[in-house]
Structure 1
Amino acid sequence: MALIKENIDRRASGTVRDYSAWVANQLNKEPFVFARSQGLMKLPEGNMPRDFFNLFATDGFYDHAVKETNIQAEEIFFKNPSPWARITLWKELTVREFHIFLGLLLHMGTIRLNQLNDYWRKGKLFDLKCFSNFMSRDRFQGILQALHFSKNPESDEPIPKDRLYKIRPLIDLFHERMNNIYSPRKELCVDESMVLWRGRLIFHQFLKNKQHRYGLKV
């Protein structure tokens, strides 16, 4: 009670500033006008899905992915002395071949099979020539094994504290491209979502009330 009485006395004497006056005057301020352009700032070169995908997957992305994958393949090769390992047949990955690999990888999302090898099976119930005609099974699995986007730290270097350092170049590229090709509208809705993930990851979460209980919160 003594503290409340002291504050009242200080306000009455003018030693405590009263902020209630300027709050009411804010009603006379003119509203901010949203004058920025909205939507796509850079249009794709065509109307095909690949044209829109290439807004993000630029030449810099392909060059970086191919370079890091070739470096990773060399590291795997020198660390694996087995003469029967798939990596012993490795040949340098090119951008053109990476386009084919990425296309087949995305197409696997529309044709669901139980195992990766099933896409190259020759039985009557399988025989998906769109895979075997463009890339062999061993080559596809070899690229998938060596797929890399960020250089591994050297033996005398500490492990980066960034838990996403393996894919940080992709995240930075995505943010950069979004700033260049898209401007958000005036009204924004920001929400979080769970991406299904049951693998081994230090920051995966479990939320029992979500449809995907195990996953990554985005």
Structure 2
Amino acid sequence: MSSSLPKKFTAQEVLDILEVIDYNESDLENDSTDDEDYEPEPDKETGTKTSVLLNPLPMKKNKKKKVYEWTKDNFNPPDSVFRGKVLELPENYEVQSPMHYFKNFLMDDMLELIVKFTNEYSVEKSGKSIDTNKKEIEQIIGMFLRMGLAKMPGVKCYWETDTRYDPVAGVMSRNRFQSLLSNLHFVNNNLATNEEKSDKLWKIRPWLKLFRNNCLKVIAHENNSIDEMMIPFKGKFSKLKQFIKGKPHPWGIKVWARTSSA
């Protein structure tokens, strides 16, 4: 049997091998992170050192699902007996005129308040009283009701020659109508406190309370419906104006109404 002899290297081959070994060891020493003077280079994109360990992300906790269990219980219906006043008209009751019923809500003392504060404001504004009276205030209210029945693009159209509407234009002149509206007041602005002025409706609040009290005098029926309704309005008064998508009149003032079959 022939035994394999170890390979013999020449002197030059040995020198070449030693040179390669020295080069590799120097690379390992330069790459070592155990050196006291070693500082990792900052990351080119984030500027942070690559040797810093990132905090692990917090584990999401599984929320327990609520479990609902149906139980049997006796149902006690609420008391639905109507305990309000029952409306019974007298035998000899005579139906009054529409104005009679209208006056139950808009009473003379309420109109006199408008007259008083309107005249006071006109003196404060121009130094001369507009000198209005209860009859003119009633006429203005009636004119607005008529305008609601015959709508036009603008208020001036009711007095224009081509679009004149006598139930409005025949009551008073356009200049007098606009002059009264520009001075119309329900309170004395100078006597209102800062707390009262924080109310968005402070300029008509006292008068509105009187009107509401008259509405509460109406005896409620057994069956009522309470729902929101929109008063169509797109004017400049924006403190109460809202936009509700899907409504027949999306722009306006939202109010709550209680209605019955009567």
Say whether the fold is shared (TM-score over 0.5). yes
Partner SS, residue 192 of structure 1: strand
Kept in 1, the 8 Å contact 2:122–2:130? The answer is no
Q: For 2:174 and 2:78, locate their aligned partners in 1 and report how far apart those are by CA, in whole Å.
A: 65
Look up the match of 1:70. Answer: 119
Partner SS, residue 75 of structure 1: helix
Given the alignment, which residue of 35, 45, 51 partners 2:83?
Answer: 35
**What letter corresponds to residue 76 of structure 1 in structure 2?**
K
Q: For 2:99 and 2:254, locate their aligned partners in 1 and report how far apart those are by CA, in whole Å.
A: 28
Question: What's the CA shift for 1:204?
Answer: 2.4
What pairs with 1:164-175 in structure 2 (closer than 5 Å)? 164-175=201-212
Report which of the two structures shows the higher radius of gyration computed on alpha carbons: 2
After superposition, what is the alpha-carbon deviation per residue over 1:134-163, rounded to whole angstroms, capped at 9, x for unaligned? 3222111111111111221469x5361111
Q: For 1:55 and 1:67, locate their aligned partners in 2 and report how far apart those are by CA, in whole Å.
A: 21
Instruction: Give identity over the alignment, percent.
Output: 28
Question: What's the CA shift for 1:133?
Answer: 4.1
Kept in 1, the 8 Å contact 2:146–2:168? The answer is no
Partner SS, residue 193 of structure 1: strand
What pairs with 1:59-138 in structure 2 (closer than 5 Å)? 59-78=108-127, 91-121=130-160, 123=161, 125-138=162-175
Give the number of aligned pairs.
179
Look up the match of 1:183. Answer: 219
Q: Which structure features the higher share of helix residues?
A: 1
Look up the match of 1:197. Answer: 233
The alignment's C-alpha RMSD in Å is 3.2
| Structure 2 unaligned spans of 5+ | 1-72, 256-262
Question: What's the CA shift for 1:132?
Answer: 4.5
Deviating more after overlay: 159-168 vs 138-147: 159-168
Distance of aligned partners of 1:119 and 1:30 in 2 relative to their CA distance in 1, 3 Å threshold: closer
Distance of aligned partners of 1:206 and 1:40 in 2 relative to their CA distance in 1, 3 Å threshold: farther
Distance of aligned partners of 1:37 and 1:68 in 2 relative to their CA distance in 1, 3 Å threshold: same
Q: Which has the higher contact order (CA 8 A, sep 6+)?
A: 1
Aligned structure 1 segments of 4 or more residues deviating by more than 6 angstroms: none
| Structure 1 unaligned spans of 5+ | 1-22, 79-87
Q: For 1:192 and 1:161, locate their aligned partners in 2 and report how far apart those are by CA, in whole Å.
A: 24
Kept in 1, the 8 Å contact 2:130–2:180? The answer is no
Q: For 1:147 and 1:40, locate their aligned partners in 2 and report how far apart those are by CA, in whole Å.
A: 41
Kept in 2, the 8 Å contact 1:39–1:184? The answer is no
Given the alignment, which residue of 196, 199, 218 partners 1:162?
Answer: 199
**What letter corresponds to residue 34 of structure 1 in structure 2?**
F
Q: For 2:246 and 2:208, locate their aligned partners in 1 and report how far apart those are by CA, in whole Å.
A: 28
Partner SS, residue 217 of structure 1: strand
Distance of aligned partners of 1:106 and 1:54 in 2 relative to their CA distance in 1, 3 Å threshold: same
Q: For 2:141 and 2:155, locate their aligned partners in 1 and report how far apart those are by CA, in whole Å.
A: 15
Question: What's the CA shift for 1:176?
Answer: 0.8
Q: For 1:193 and 1:30, locate their aligned partners in 2 and report how far apart those are by CA, in whole Å.
A: 29
**What letter corresponds to residue 161 of structure 1 in structure 2?**
S
Partner SS, residue 205 of structure 1: strand
